Amino acid sequence: MPGATDIKPTKPLKNPCNLCQSVRAILKRPKTGQQLCKECFFHVFETEIHNTIVDNKLFNKGDRVAIGASGGKDSTVLAYVMKLLNDRYSYELDLVLLSIDEGITGYRDDSLETVKRNRDQYQIPLLIVSYKDLYGWSMDDIVKEIGRKNNCTFCGVFRRQALDRGAIMLNVDHIVTGHNADDIAETVLMNILRGDLPRLQRCTSIITNDTSEDSSGIETSKILRSKPFKYTYEKEIVMYAYFKKLDYFSTECIYSPNAYRGHARVFLKDLEAVRRTAIVDIIHSGEALSASVQANESTKLPTMANCTRCGYISSNELCKACLLLEGLNKGLPQLGIGHTTKIRRMHEASNLASGLSSPASLSSAVADGSAGEKVKVVTHIKDLGQLETMPTLDSMK
Amino acid sequence: MNQSDATLRIELQFSGGMELLFDNQKTIHAKVPASFPLDTSVEDRHAATIRDLISWTASNLLKERPELFIGTDGSVRSGILVLVNGADWELEGELEYELEDRDEIVFISTLHGG
């Protein structure tokens, strides 16, 4: 071989990339344990998400898709990758950014600046929808009213509806969110720990379609929601953003330290330290449990109606958001949270006192509580007609 | 010069919210001791490792809330990623990696909303 003896022996490459063998590895993948260089990592990361999108048939060509964008790590990477894949693989999607302003000073106002930068950097149009405009209450207002407990419940219900309303304003077919594998594993754990079977049944679905209903009684009419990052590890999302130098906002919501999810997250991280595959294993278990819950639950499909207050689609007379707002506006912040009979009675009493007749379904909507049980518990007999339909000992033989 | 006086120039970088624990500084140029005493005998010393760096950082640089930085067994809290000279610390021996002069160590927190 010409010149072979002139070649100085070089140091063997330290930690060569498992895939290309030619460059130093910079990441050990949690998923596979492989060590990859920057370019191979980018390629694998992007291609796996593309495969997730294609295998699960998330989109149709020409769909108008809103990317739920908070300015945080997941949604920033999601916006970047959606745009990249849309261009690379010609999905022909019409992409928009949709951001929700919950009205949390010192948290959301800063992260929204990040979303605006993303809009400019990625050249994707942006719509911001605020709780204050939609509901008359910002999260700052709500926390002042109800304190630091249960505020995540309010925020979650309001955000869900706000995203749908924003999507309707934007006339989109589909909303994508940045929920990652770690998030989904946490949710599975939380739902098991809380015995929330309806949520457990739904939480591992990568796409929720228009015939599904969540426990807040809101049906998302014809707007699909999906999670392209369902199998993407949080660590990889952060590393991708770091190596690609993507600009994101990173602070914990100031109202969240007591949230239940925080405990599940710590537990999950500790489990992961002991057993590397914990996350994907829990998701796998969650999917199996989902099938099991679905098979066992004898649920009848609720009839769809419109919320009597705001017109939003709901299976109860009041949608969950209106129920929570009712509680806030009447100074009964526990309304719609849990199964507090005392609060319900106070609410009924205040309605009677002000001459309002309480819709019959209100007490049962409240009895459903935030766990969203489908069984309607009849706690107040309103009229004799109800007595006739109640089961008797004979009928239960 | 006493061997225990030798220091290493280590560039520490903080992101993902970690900087909040360090007075909002994203970069700190630290002079870290090159060796640390062994647990068993104060006379003998071993070369500084990342494990030492973590406890040294907590003692000397951390402004508040050490429990948000240090986790179990002297490692970083779960959910904090560590990079050594631009590479995942899992490829470099994690806590046992021995520091060298002019190393760049990055701490990235993942513990926040997305």
pLDDT digits (tens, 9 = 90+) for A151-167: 888 888 898 889 988 99
Q: Which chain A residues touch B81 with a CB distance below 8 Å?
A: 235, 238-239
The pLDDT assigned to A349 comes to 66
pLDDT band at residue A361 under the 50/70/90 scheme: very low
Taking the CA of residue B41 and the nearest CA in chain A, the distance in Å comes to 31
What residues contact A105, with CB distance under 8 A and at least 6 apart? Answer: A140
Q: Inspect the interface and report whether the beta carbons of A26 and B114 lie closer than 8 Å.
A: no
pLDDT band at residue A250 under the 50/70/90 scheme: confident
- Select the residue of A15, A24, A250 nearest B109 (Cβ to Cβ): A250
Q: Inspect the interface and report whether the beta carbons of B88 and A180 lie closer than 8 Å.
A: no
CB A206 within 8 A of CB A226: yes
Domains of chain A (ranges, CATH numbers):
42-299 (3.40.50.620), 307-363 (no CATH)
Pick from A26, A250, A266 the residue to mutate for testing the B interface (most B CBs within 10 Å). Answer: A250
A28 in contact with B, Cβ within 8 Å: yes
Q: How far apart are CA A147 and CA A258, in angstroms?
A: 11
The DSSP output letter for A55 is: H
- Select the residue of A179, A180, A250 nearest B112 (Cβ to Cβ): A250
Q: Kindly state the average pLDDT of the residues A106-128.
A: 89
Q: Say if residue B99's pLDDT is above 90.
A: yes
Q: Say if residue A368's pLDDT is above 50.
A: no
Give tens-digit pLDDT for A1-40: 554 555 556 667 788 999 999 999 999 998 888 999 999 9
Q: What is the mean pLDDT of chain B?
A: 88
The pLDDT assigned to A373 comes to 39
Listed in sequence order, the DSSP H helices in chain B are 50-60
The pLDDT assigned to A95 comes to 97
pLDDT band at residue B28 under the 50/70/90 scheme: very high
Measured N-to-C along each axis, helices A151-170 and A139-146 cross at an angle, to the nearest 10 degrees, of 160
Taking the CA of residue B76 and the nearest CA in chain A, the distance in Å comes to 12
**Out of A4-13, A169-178, B6-15, B67-76, which region has the weakest mean confidence (pLDDT)?**
A4-13
Taking the CA of residue A266 and the nearest CA in chain B, the distance in Å comes to 7
Q: Inspect the interface and report whether the beta carbons of A72 and B78 lie closer than 8 Å.
A: no
Q: Count chain A–chain B contacts defined by CB atoms under 8 A.
A: 72
Chain A, residues 133-192, CB within 8 A of chain B, namely 178-180, 183
Give the residue carrying structure tokens 């807040």.
A216
Measured distance between the N- and C-terminal CA atoms of chain A, rounded to whole angstroms = 93
What residues contact B5, with CB distance under 8 A and at least 6 apart? Answer: none
The pLDDT assigned to A295 comes to 74
At residue A214, what is the residue type?
D
- Select the residue of A74, A266, A272 nearest B114 (Cβ to Cβ): A74
The pLDDT assigned to A353 comes to 59
pLDDT band at residue A240 under the 50/70/90 scheme: very high
- B33 forms beta bridges with B7
Q: How far apart are CA A75 and CA A70, in angstroms?
A: 6
Q: Which chain A residues touch B100 with a CB distance below 8 Å?
A: none
> pTM above 0.90?
no
Taking the CA of residue A341 and the nearest CA in chain B, the distance in Å comes to 34
B104 in contact with A, Cβ within 8 Å: no
The pLDDT assigned to A183 comes to 94
Q: Is A162 annotated as a binding residue?
A: no
Q: Which position has the higher pLDDT, A73 or B72?
A: A73
At residue A383, what is the residue type?
D
**Out of A11-25, A70-84, A234-248, which region has the weakest mean confidence (pLDDT)?**
A11-25
Q: Inspect the interface and report whether the beta carbons of B81 and A235 lie closer than 8 Å.
A: yes
pLDDT band at residue A127 under the 50/70/90 scheme: very high
At residue B17, what is the residue type?
G
CA nearest to B91 within chain A:
A28
Q: Kindly state the average pLDDT of the residues A53-64.
A: 94
pLDDT band at residue A81 under the 50/70/90 scheme: very high
Taking the CA of residue A28 and the nearest CA in chain B, the distance in Å comes to 6
Give tens-digit pLDDT for A302-340: 566 778 887 777 777 888 888 888 888 888 767 777 655
The complex scores an ipTM of 0.91
Q: Inspect the interface and report whether the beta carbons of B15 and A178 lie closer than 8 Å.
A: no
Q: What is the mean pLDDT of chain A?
A: 80
Q: Is A100 annotated as a binding residue?
A: yes
Pick from B78, B84, B104, B107 the residue to mutate for testing the A interface (most A CBs within 10 Å). Answer: B78
Q: Kindly state the average pLDDT of the residues A263-271.
A: 87
B111 in contact with A, Cβ within 8 Å: yes
B17 in contact with A, Cβ within 8 Å: yes
**Out of A51-60, A81-90, A363-372, B6-15, which region has the weakest mean confidence (pLDDT)?**
A363-372
B93 in contact with A, Cβ within 8 Å: no
Q: Is A133 annotated as a binding residue?
A: no
CB A336 within 8 A of CB A323: yes
Q: Say if residue B56's pLDDT is above 90.
A: yes
- Greatest mean pLDDT among A65-69, A168-172, A289-293, B108-112: A65-69
Q: How far apart are CA A18 and CA B88, in angstroms?
A: 14
B38 in contact with A, Cβ within 8 Å: no
Torsion of CA B46, B48, B53, B56, to 10 degrees: 50
Taking the CA of residue B87 and the nearest CA in chain A, the distance in Å comes to 4
Q: Of A389, A336, A392, A328, whose CA–CA distance to A364 is shortest? A: A336
Q: Of A46, A44, A22, A26, whose CA–CA distance to A36 is shortest? A: A26
**Out of A24-33, A192-201, A250-259, A297-306, which region has the weakest mean confidence (pLDDT)?**
A297-306
